[in-house]
Amino acid sequence: MADEQLLAQWPHRRLNALTGEWLLVSPHRARRPWQGQVEPLPPVYRPPYAADCYLCPGNPRAGSARNPRYTSTFVFTNDFQAVLPDAPAMADETPSSLFRASGVRGTCRVICFSPRHDLTLADMPVEDIAAVVDVWADQTAELGRTYRWVQVFENKGATMGCSNPHPHGQIWATDFLPTEPEREDARQREYWHANGTALLLDYLQAERAVDARVVTQNDDWTVVVPWWAMWPFETLVIPSRPVQRMPDLKPAERRSLAAILKTLLTAYDRLFATSFPYTMGWHGAPTADTGDAPHWQLHAHFYPPLLRSATVRKFMVGYEMLSEPQRDITAEQAAERLRQSAQG
């Protein structure tokens, strides 16, 4: 690895080992981007129940659907699905190979994390977060029997395009392997064939040895700002032992995952004294009877956009869209900030 002092002061590129893509880092542009006045957003009041919320217990949704008066987690098929289970097959026959198309089938579900309208995952007790983890695992197991890819994710906050503040996430299951997990599958498979070990487990050991980017850890999980982090306070959540898919997690590992998520999400909220927006998603081995995949290691990505304060965010525009991702704050600086925030 390059000299740490050089990395902290001079522009350089870092390789994303999971995707094979490069990232430009420009630490000289903002060595201490959190200095200066930080103005948190004024608190927003949300009631425990909102009569006009289509996710609250007992409320109507689209059409004639109505939510039950649920008291814990609640899962339902999205009323406006992006993919459909009965979509027609499409022949890949076009006048030119430049106009290819392929039919897809799948389903989309919504997971209400809590009946309380005024909570986020960060606000929920560990026991209730553990119930959400169980739902993630159960839904992955169920949908994975039919579909090749099951994407569990959450978009939190209006900044990330979330139209309803009620605590919820989504699951999209498809009969194809999407682009990002396909890249991760190829890179992890290549590493396994070359080394006989899982890429992310070796990466985890290396991160623990260096310790510069570790945010928090317990017996079963580690949270790091990855070496190749693209978003300012991006994190990666990785289990300590080999785990290919979320349903493979043991009960104790699910409980410890809930605990470390509580720590991480609370740290995010403390960082700029605001309910931190992010996109979060789980990646595990493809499903639908693909069998053993020892090259895969389960992990979660957290992509939060905030950079300097509750109102200043990172935009992926210009050079990022036309050339490659770029960041000013280094992964090591971000990890130090998050460590401090996690400690309260």
Catalytic residue numbers, as ranges: 168
Between helix 179-195 and helix 199-210 the angle, nearest 10°, is 80
> Which among 117, 26, 41, 114 is positioned nearest to 75, based on CA atoms?
114
Distance CA(240)–CA(299), nearest Å, equals 10
Distance CA(104)–CA(123), nearest Å, equals 37
Torsion of the alpha carbons at 321, 325, 329 and 333, rounded to the nearest 10: 150
- The secondary structure of 115-143, three-state, reads CCCCCCHHHCCHHHHHHHHHHHHHHHHHH
Q: Could you tell me which residues come within 8 angstroms of residue 306 by beta carbon, excluding any fewer than 6 positions away? A: 159, 232, 233, 271, 272, 274, 276, 277, 312, 313, 314
Query: Which residues pair with residue 313 across a beta bridge?
Result: 306
Torsion of the alpha carbons at 325, 265, 187 and 207, rounded to the nearest 10: 100
Distance CA(290)–CA(299), nearest Å, equals 18
